[in-house]
């Protein structure tokens, strides 16, 4: 069976062209011959050549090789990754070696041995394909980096004192390769901080890879992060590159790191210490160069508990620690955030831009925002869609039946619910019962979405949808 590939032979000797064509057409699908090197640019515009065989000299009496050098240079200007094999007369090896220094891939001496020519051209075609694949991979990676580094529609906003501290830490840390641990409740914008660190770093033109560890099952953890070889386990029908290797040269954001089981923490620590990753089923480790930014909604006391989180991994992750304040502690930023989301969702839904009425602003300032900025975003989105007045009113925000005081805690909310079991039993409306159950689960777990979802028998995504439906 013929090999896929298109070969160009350029020589002013018709016997060489005929011999080369007769030999190579038995092995390759397409052969193009050319006796005038001036036709090379036109031919390269018409065809993609996997290999080009180029004579060193054209015209009687020529033996310096300068013509071959000149056309080699022009070919590489047209196609920098072109694979060119120089054809030289016997005894012109030194000339051919000089051509290789100038960018040629290999050379053959004429009269050639058929087996040697076939082997040389086959190797050249394989090299050409590798170069094309590598170039395509670079373009793909550049596009991935460009897409992953696009500015967020919801930037990290806020000029309150608490947020000024966060911005200062980002500015001072971004340009380094120091690992960063971001602490904060759900919905405070931990991924936005990670993206800000990446965009201001020396890796800004490389990939930003985000992994939600709370959504990765234990059985798939190694395959997801480290990758696997074909046949490494049942169902591994093809090779897969892990997230760590895919983020090579860029930034890897590990969200929900606090939910990672201890035995998997040990495996992650080994990779981070050695800066090498071994895909499942592989024998050799692969070097990686990534900056790791981790985030968790787990409180610091739990992270400092050896029985829940490895302290050596914590030390590895928190070279710099950034604590994001909850929205209830940055009330001065509410107006800025609300205005941003009002403008964003008005454009998205093609609605007239409305601003908050005084009573809406007051209601927002009195609310504790247990879901933080994510809850604010959803509330504003609903208000933009449903508001019928000239301004956004408090009722349009659908915050809750009774605003929460900023000082209220999950524990006190839980006790309030527990004190009225009879009212829960008497209420048989399924929608209301679902809302009560979700609130109880959230308060029980301190608004840790992963733990609350597991307690309710839901996925994180399903819980988020129900929270949005009920305005929680």
Is 339 buried (19+), middle (13-18) or exposed (0-12) by CB count in 10 A?
middle
Which residue from 183, 257, 263, 180 is spatially nearest to 215, judged by alpha carbons? 257
Distance (Å, whole) CA 127 – CA 112: 21
Question: In CATH, what is the architecture of 409-472?
Answer: Orthogonal Bundle (1.10)
Residues whose CB is less than 8 angstroms from the CB of residue 374 and which lie 6 or more positions away in sequence, other chains included: 186, 187
Predicted local distance difference test score (pLDDT) of residue 363: 92
23 torsion bin: left (phi>0), alpha (psi -120 to 50), beta (else): alpha
Predicted local distance difference test score (pLDDT) of residue 92: 65
CATH fold for domain 175-325? Rossmann fold (3.40.50)
pLDDT in tens, 393-443: 999 998 874 444 444 433 334 344 344 444 444 455 667 778 888 888 888
User: In 180-196, which positions are buried (b, 16+ CB within 10 angstroms) versus exposed (e)?
Assistant: bbbbbbbbbbbbbbbbb
Predicted TM-score (pTM) above 0.75: no
Distance (Å, whole) CA 387 – CA 467: 20
Domain 3-136, CATH class in plain words: alpha beta
Predicted local distance difference test score (pLDDT) of residue 328: 92
Residue for token pair 């509410």:
334
Residues of the chain with pLDDT under 50: 401-426
Q: What are phi and psi of 292, to 5 degrees?
A: -105, 125
> Do the beta carbons of residue 352 and residue 390 sit within 8 Å?
no
Distance (Å, whole) CA 400 – CA 363: 10
42 torsion bin: left (phi>0), alpha (psi -120 to 50), beta (else): alpha
Distance (Å, whole) CA 434 – CA 458: 12
Predicted local distance difference test score (pLDDT) of residue 443: 80
Distance (Å, whole) CA 55 – CA 72: 10
Portions of the chain given CATH number 3.40.50.300: 175-325
Predicted local distance difference test score (pLDDT) of residue 136: 63
Portions of the chain given CATH number 1.10.8.60: 327-408
Portions of the chain given CATH number 1.10.10: 409-472
276 torsion bin: left (phi>0), alpha (psi -120 to 50), beta (else): beta
User: In 346-367, which positions are buried (b, 16+ CB within 10 angstroms) versus exposed (e)?
Assistant: eeeeeeeebebbeebbebbeeb
Residue 332's alpha-carbon distances to 186, 370, 384, in angstroms, are: 20, 17, 22
> Do the beta carbons of residue 276 and residue 314 sit within 8 Å?
no
pLDDT in tens, 217-251: 888 888 888 888 887 787 777 888 888 888 889 99
Q: Which DSSP string do the residues of 121-134 spell out, in sequence order?
A: HHHHHHHHHHHHHH
Residues whose CB is less than 8 angstroms from the CB of residue 140 and which lie 6 or more positions away in sequence, other chains included: none
Q: Are strands 251-255 and 208-212 parallel, antiparallel or unpaired?
A: parallel
Residue 71's alpha-carbon distances to 41, 130, 149, in angstroms, are: 10, 23, 41
Domain 327-408 in CATH 1.25.40.10? The answer is no
Distance (Å, whole) CA 192 – CA 5: 47
Segment holding 264, helix H or strand E? helix 262-274
Portions of the chain given CATH number 3.40.50.2300: 3-136
Predicted local distance difference test score (pLDDT) of residue 150: 58
Beta strands in 147-272 (DSSP E): 180-183, 208-212, 227-228, 240-241, 251-255
């Amino acid at each position: 069976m013929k090999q896929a590939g298109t070969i160009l032979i350029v020589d002013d000797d018709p016997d060489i062209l005929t011999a080369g064509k007769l030999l190579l057409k038995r092995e390759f699908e397409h052969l193009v011959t050319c006796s005038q090197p001036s036709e090379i640019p036109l031919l390269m515009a018409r065809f993609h050549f996997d290999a080009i065989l180029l004579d060193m000299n054209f015209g009687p009496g020529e033996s310096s090789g300068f013509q071959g050098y000149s056309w080699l240079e022009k070919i590489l200007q047209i196609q920098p990754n072109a694979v060119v094999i120089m054809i030289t007369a016997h005894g012109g090896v030194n000339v051919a070696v000089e051509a290789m220094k100038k960018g040629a891939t290999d050379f053959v001496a004429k009269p050639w041995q058929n087996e040697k020519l076939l082997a040389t051209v086959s190797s050249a075609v394989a090299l050409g394909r590798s170069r094309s694949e590598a170039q395509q991979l670079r373009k793909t990676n550049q596009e991935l980096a460009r897409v992953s580094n696009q500015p967020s529609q919801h930037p990290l906003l806020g000029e309150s004192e608490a947020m000024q501290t966060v911005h200062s830490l980002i500015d001072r840390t971004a340009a380094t390769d120091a690992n960063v641990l971001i602490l904060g409740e759900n919905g405070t914008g931990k991924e936005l901080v990670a993206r800000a660190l990446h965009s201001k770093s020396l890796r800004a033109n490389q990939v930003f890879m985000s992994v939600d560890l709370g959504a990765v099952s234990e059985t798939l953890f190694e395959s997801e992060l480290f990758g696997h070889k074909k046949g490494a386990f049942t169902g591994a029908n093809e090779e897969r590159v892990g997230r760590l290797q895919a983020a090579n040269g860029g930034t890897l954001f590990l969200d929900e790191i606090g939910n990672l089981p201890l035995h998997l923490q040990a495996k992650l620590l080994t990779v981070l210490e050695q800066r090498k990753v071994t895909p499942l089923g592989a024998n050799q480790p692969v070097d990686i160069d990534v900056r790791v930014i981790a985030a968790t909604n787990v409180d610091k006391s739990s992270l400092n508990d050896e029985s829940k989180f490895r302290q050596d991994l914590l030390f590895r992750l928190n070279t710099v620690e950034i604590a994001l304040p909850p929205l209830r502690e940055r009330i001065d930023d509410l107006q800025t955030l609300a205005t941003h989301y009002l403008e964003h969702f008005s454009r998205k839904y093609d609605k007239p831009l409305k601003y908050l009425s005084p009573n809406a602003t007051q209601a927002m300032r009195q609310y504790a925002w247990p879901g933080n900025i994510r809850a604010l975003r959803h509330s504003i989105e609903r208000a933009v869609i449903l508001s019928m007045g000239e301004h956004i009113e408090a009722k349009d925000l659908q915050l809750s039946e009774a605003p929460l005081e900023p000082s209220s805690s999950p524990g006190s909310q839980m006790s309030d619910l527990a004190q009225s079991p009879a009212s829960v039993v008497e209420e048989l409306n399924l929608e209301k019962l679902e809302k009560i159950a979700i609130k109880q689960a959230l308060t029980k777990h301190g608004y840790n979405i992963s733990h609350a979802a597991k307690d309710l028998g839901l996925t994180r995504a399903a819980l988020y949808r129900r929270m949005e439906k009920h305005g929680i």
